[in-house]
Chain A
Amino acid sequence: MHWTSLNSFLSMGGYGFYVWASFGITFLSLAIEFLLVFNSVRNKEITHES
């Protein structure tokens, strides 16, 4: 493990902004996609049961 502290982990050797923005945007996009599809399927299924 090469991180000496939480700060050194967050700063990513000075590239923190680029690294965290990349990972953040990736998982945010996937989470939004998943929730949108999940909700639309659930709404469809609810309207069909009633």
Chain B
Amino acid sequence: MNLYKFSSPKVFYPLAGSIFKYTLLPSIFFLVVGLYISFFLAPTDFQQGEAYRIIFIHVPAAWMSMIIYMAMAFWNIVGFSLKSKLSFMMSRALAPTGAIFTFIALITGAFWGRPMWGAWWVWDARLTSELILLFLYIGYIALVMSFDDSKRGERVGAIYSIVSVINVPIIYFSVIWWNTLHQGASVSFNKAPSMAAMIVEGMLVMMLAFWTYSIAVVMLRIRRIIVEYQEEMLLMNHTTEG
């Protein structure tokens, strides 16, 4: 099977439709299971009481905000290396969803910080770098949109995203590099999680829900981008002919 054929927007269009269909229902399923674990199976925290339950959306949303920015940079690098239009479109389709997860991570963080730290917001390394991520997403979207020629817009946006992806490791390591009010990593690759297994499972199920949701909505959005691109091509042909 020749996988390269899917890099053509026209060929990918129906495939995006099927991926959307097969990820939407799983996302609802994971969401229901995730909410059930969050509120009924996960134990009460001995220090933070019930307020800690915000973790079940806060942490997965923060993960998504970083993963999506890295995915955008990845697709843009693929776009430049293989000269594939679809890769740049993928990055454009991902950006609004990434921005929304960044917003969710920040706002749920504020609603968690208020009762636990006594402040909605503090200018510490983790929070500030995550806020910068939100501005980076908005900057990318505005930059791409500012070009009438979508091809130029997404290439300029691509360079911007590849350069600014450096902020993602800064967010991730900020709790180690700087003194911060924010707690360290909840789940790490090299040591056993410091919390009850049920809490970790709840966060993982919620992350699956966010992953499948993101794939579904991004596939929907890329279909719109493909249609818009074809309209643009049609318009350009008309103007050159007439």
Interface size on B, residues (CB 8 A): 31
Interface size on A, residues (CB 8 A): 26
Q: Are B100 and A14 in contact (CB under 8 A)?
A: no
- If A2-B44, A25-B107 touch, does A18 touch B112 (CB 8 Å cutoff)? yes
- If A2-B44, A41-B220 touch, does A18 touch B227 (CB 8 Å cutoff)? no
Task: Give the total number of A-B pairs whose CB atoms are below 8 A apart.
Answer: 76
Q: Are B54 and A19 in contact (CB under 8 A)?
A: yes
Write out the residue numbers on chain A whose beta carbons fall within 8 Å of the beta carbon of B221.
37, 41
Write out the residue numbers on chain A whose beta carbons fall within 8 Å of the beta carbon of B112.
18, 22
B contact residues vs A (CB 8 Å cutoff): 39-40, 43-44, 49-51, 53-54, 57-58, 61, 96-97, 100, 103-104, 107-108, 111-112, 114-115, 213, 217, 220-221, 223-224, 227-228
14 contacts between A and B (CB under 8 A): A14-B49, A18-B51, A18-B112, A22-B54, A22-B57, A29-B100, A29-B104, A30-B104, A33-B100, A41-B221, A41-B223, A41-B224, A44-B223, A44-B228
